[in-house]
Amino acid sequence: MGAIKTVKTLRMVNQKEGFDCPGCAWPDPEHRTTFEFCENGAKAVADEAMKAKVTPDYLAHHTVQELAEMSDHQLNSLGRISHPVYLPANASRYESISWTGAFEKIASALNACASPDNAVFYTSGRTSNEAAFLYQAFVRAFGTNNLPDCSNMCHESSGKGLGQTIGIGKGTVSLDDFNHADVILVIGQNPGTNHPRMLTALRDAKKRGARIIHVNPLPEAGLARFKHPQDYMKGDLRTTKLADLHLPVRIGGDAALMKGLIKLQLDAGALDHDFIQDKTEGFETMANSVKNVSWDAILRDSGLSMHDISVAGRMVAESKATIACWAMGLTQHRNGVAVIQEVVNLLLMNGHVGRKGAGFCPVRGHSNVQGDRTVGIWEAPSEPFLDRMESGLGFEIPRRHGYDVVHAIDAMAKGEVDVFFCMGGNFLSATPDTDLTAKAIQNIGLTVQVSTKLNRSHLITGKEALILPCLGRTEKDVQSTGEQFVSVENSMGQVHRSQGGLPPASPDLRSEPWIVAHLAAATLGDHHLNWLDLVSDYDNIRSLMERSLAGFDDYNERVRLPSGFALPNPPKDSQSFATPSGRAHFTDHPLPDVQVDSGHYVMMTLRSHDQYNTTIYGLNDRYRGVHGHRRVVFMNAEDMVERGWKSRQKVNITSHFNGEERHSNDWLLVPYEIPRGNLAAYFPEANSLVPLHSTASISNTPTSKWIVCTLHDASSMASEEE
Ligand SMILES: Nc1nc2c(c(=O)[nH]1)N[C@H]1C(S)=C(S)[C@@H](COP(=O)(O)OP(=O)(O)OC[C@H]3O[C@@H](n4cnc5c(=O)[nH]c(N)nc54)[C@H](O)[C@@H]3O)O[C@H]1N2
Ligand SMILES: Nc1nc2c(c(=O)[nH]1)N[C@H]1C(S)=C(S)[C@@H](COP(=O)(O)OP(=O)(O)OC[C@H]3O[C@@H](n4cnc5c(=O)[nH]c(N)nc54)[C@H](O)[C@@H]3O)O[C@H]1N2
Ligand SMILES: [Mo]
């Protein structure tokens, strides 16, 4: 960015008058310091504000094929897309197009669809509430609920798991609860890299005496060694050990661990009988079933020792207030929904919900992924939600549910998608089964990407393609009535404003709400809503949201309060549960089968310290000691010795699912502290190994943390071929 611009920009991050950090959805403390961001937030901001540009001239001199040969890291470093561009059918290069020309093309393709269900509208989780609301209103006015989003691959299991049991698909804690917790479980999450500001909350909790239990196959560094996220900038390298206990669970072993912890609570009588009696149902069935699970099975499946589980069990039993945090290590599993419901069982037993210092904390990923869902980015909305939306919008909206991500790819593969519109994100690289998905996308007539930076989804496209470049979070948004702000919802249900201050990277960029409004006006023609009027002043959009969404009363006033406002959260606010019976549910699930054939390994895909999902900032993973490479596989050293392999052994990977095989070659082995039989590799490089139909029950989330693989010596295969 340049030094002066960097300082000026970072000063605006997460301030009352500034913009919401695009890095993650962790909330900001109420009393904001001058700086409230972290190393990785700074990277996200700097990446968006980078000076380099992808201009129509650049694209005129580089074929799509040439660009496709670049790495993700190189593509990202080309900079911000400066102008709308169009790739005609059978052309090899993108060419410049006017905004009006682009909307005409999309409108005519949409209006040519045999059914509105032949169009699919994806959203990534950076989109503001205003843009997302307007977008879903347009999609529903057009006539479909085909609104898949990144959440389908992310916290969908949390939404489903919590929704069924406590009546709301969101967490139930606020940041202040961390100041009152006795025990904090951090399960399947790497906050040092992905939610660095969370470590500050954990550090403060620990200073006050809270105990932290880290459940993870890997000893993730932020929990083993903590530095204040901003100390990196100050060069202060002192570290603290955050986790009191690390449980190196086997991949997929959390359900077994939870059963063990529940057994120990039953043995210790650590039960809130009044809460169980007055507020819940299903306790007896759950408890009787857990009693019958053997310790042998628990130890075998979790890979943990009786000693470690007992220590954790005692900590939980002694705790007056427990918070359970989790992320992708739980959600991206075949039993993602069930395992989250085991966590719910554990906390419900002792009434750890709606109590100060206690509750559920699914730590959301994208900075507004939770807000997007709240305002209607949802392929399977509930009837009450649609009723309210319909009465607010004033037109009839379709009731049949639409495609989620996996179903959308299935429909593309069958040739049933004519138009695919993406509000942000990088669909091709984020989704599973890269080769299959790439072919599926190429069946589509027109693909449209609203984006800030170039990525692989711009290079593997439908027959025709458009890129519509948009403003980022950091940039000033001026509409016909003047400068606008937007709003977002953080991981803890707090809605607040966000306003960029930098001049836009190019005069040809448009805001996401502006793009949606013009798309709607071009496609729908004479319509009940005046889309251009709505977007002329975002207060107009917010007024419509007030009428169309529960919990958004006086939105325009309350969003202007210095810290915004909290959305209603019945379990948190009043221990009430909007389930059909009005009670929280204990659930009973069998132990999942986590055995694999001999010679097979279970692989998880994860993020390095130098990436934001599919955006690759650099080739290092500092906390894990990896430098200069991304095609690496972490493997237990004893497993390597067993195969006669050394560090940097070259391997090819085959994944196995329902008798099908997928292959990915040229990986380097890295010996690592990971349970035996388990492997880890980076997302998105390893996505070609994730089978499209290997998904979690109920949430249909791809099992990016459960990929059954075999490894093959690539050095000897190469020499044999020679
Ligand atoms: N800097 C940065 N920040 C980000 C992102 C980013 O890419 N970069 N991405 C954002 C997004 S969208 C999201 S969803 C979040 C993701 O945040 P995380 O969920 O922390 O991200 P992952 O890298 O997928 O890490 C998953 C963790 O789960 C562990 N794990 C895997 N399988 C299991 C299991 O079976 N059991 C247990 N107990 N643990 C397991 C892994 O070892 C790893 O520590 O971060 C958000 N923030
Ligand atoms: N194997 C495997 N696959 C996974 C995961 C995993 O752990 N393992 N994680 C899954 C998860 S949790 C998620 S959330 C998904 C992420 O899926 P996505 O959200 O689809 O992917 P991102 O990489 O976050 O999207 C990056 C692109 O967004 C665009 N962009 C950035 N900022 C903006 C903006 O302000 N507006 C607009 N319109 N565009 C913008 C840029 O062009 C950038 O290239 O991936 C999922 N896929
Ligand atoms: Mo995510």
Cβ-based neighbours of 71, under 8 Å, separated by 6 or more:
616
Which residues are paired to 477 by β-bridges? 484
Distance CA(89)–CA(92), nearest Å, equals: 9
Model confidence at 555: pLDDT above 80: yes
Pocket test for ligand 1, best of 257, 604, 611, 678 (most atoms within 8 A of CB): 604
Distance CA(144)–CA(214), nearest Å, equals: 42
pLDDT at 721: 42
Helices (H), 394-454: 405-413, 427-430, 434-442
Beta strand ranges found along 444-526 (DSSP E): 446-451, 464-469, 477-479, 482-484, 486-489, 494-498
Q: Provide, rounded to the nearest whole percent, the portion of the chain with pLDDT above 70.
A: 94
* Ligand 2 contacts CB of residue 258 (under 6 A): no
pLDDT at 644: 97
pLDDT at 26: 85
At 596, the pLDDT band (50, 70, 90 cuts) reads very high
At 27, the pLDDT band (50, 70, 90 cuts) reads confident
* Ligand 1 contacts CB of residue 604 (under 6 A): yes
Distance CA(530)–CA(522), nearest Å, equals: 12
Distance CA(347)–CA(716), nearest Å, equals: 51
Pocket test for ligand 2, best of 326, 450, 451, 474 (most atoms within 8 A of CB): 451
Closest CA to 636 of 662, 601, 664, 683: 601
pLDDT at 18: 79
Distance CA(91)–CA(16), nearest Å, equals: 47
Q: Which residue has the tokens 């001239």?
A: 57
Atom of ligand 1 nearest to the CA of 326: 19
Over range 303-319, report the average pLDDT. 98
Which H or E element spans position 154? none
Pocket test for ligand 2, best of 447, 614, 662 (most atoms within 8 A of CB): 614
Please, are residues 56 and 95 in contact by the beta-carbon 8 Å criterion? yes
Over range 418-431, report the average pLDDT. 98
pLDDT at 237: 45
Distance CA(356)–CA(180), nearest Å, equals: 6
Helix (H/G/I), strand (E/B), else coil: 598: coil
Q: What is the pLDDT of residues 352-385, one digit of tens each?
A: 999 999 999 999 999 999 999 999 999 999 999 9
14-21 — which CB contacts under 8 Å span 24+ positions? Answer: 14/41, 16/562, 16/563, 17/499, 18/498, 18/499, 18/501, 19/473, 19/474, 19/498, 19/499, 19/500, 19/501, 20/367, 20/368, 20/473, 20/488, 20/490, 20/496, 20/498, 21/45, 21/367, 21/473
Residue 608 burial class via C-beta count within 10 angstroms: exposed 0-12, middle 13-18, buried 19 and up: buried
Model confidence at 32: pLDDT above 60: no
Q: What is the pLDDT of residues 472-509, one digit of tens each?
A: 999 999 999 999 999 999 999 999 999 999 999 999 99
Please, are residues 484 and 511 in contact by the beta-carbon 8 Å criterion? yes
Q: What is the pLDDT of residues 249-286, one digit of tens each?
A: 999 999 999 999 999 999 999 999 999 999 999 999 99
Q: What is the CATH number of domain 601-721?
A: 2.40.40.20
Range of lowest pLDDT (25-39, 135-149, 441-455):
25-39
Q: Which residue has the tokens 């913009």?
A: 19
* Ligand 1 contacts CB of residue 197 (under 6 A): no
Over range 676-690, report the average pLDDT. 98
Neighbours of 698 (CB within 10 A): 16
Model confidence at 654: pLDDT above 60: yes
Six-digit token pair at 52? 């380099």
pLDDT at 46: 83
pLDDT at 589: 98
Positions of CATH 2.40.40.20 in the chain: 601-721
Positions of CATH 3.40.228.10 in the chain: 156-362
Per CATH, which fold does 3-152+368-552 belong to?
Rossmann fold (3.40.50)
Considering all CA atoms of the chain, what is the largest pairwise distance in Å, rounded to the nearest integer? 73
Mean pLDDT of the chain: 94
The torsion angles phi and psi of 246, rounded to 5 degrees, stand at: -110, 120
Range of lowest pLDDT (33-42, 113-122, 296-305):
33-42
Range of lowest pLDDT (214-218, 341-345, 510-514, 559-563):
559-563
Distance CA(319)–CA(265), nearest Å, equals: 11
Distance CA(162)–CA(338), nearest Å, equals: 10
Q: What is the pLDDT of residues 47-58, one digit of tens each?
A: 888 889 999 999
DSSP state of 504: P
Please, are residues 168 and 162 in contact by the beta-carbon 8 Å criterion? yes
Model confidence at 235: pLDDT above 70: no
Q: What is the CATH number of domain 156-362?
A: 3.40.228.10
* Ligand 1 contacts CB of residue 609 (under 6 A): no
The torsion angles phi and psi of 313, rounded to 5 degrees, stand at: -60, -40
Atom of ligand 2 nearest to the CA of 369: 14
pLDDT at 95: 97
pLDDT at 28: 78
Model's pTM, two decimal places? 0.95
Q: Which residue has the tokens 């993020």?
A: 607
CA of 429 to the centre of ligand 2 (A): 8
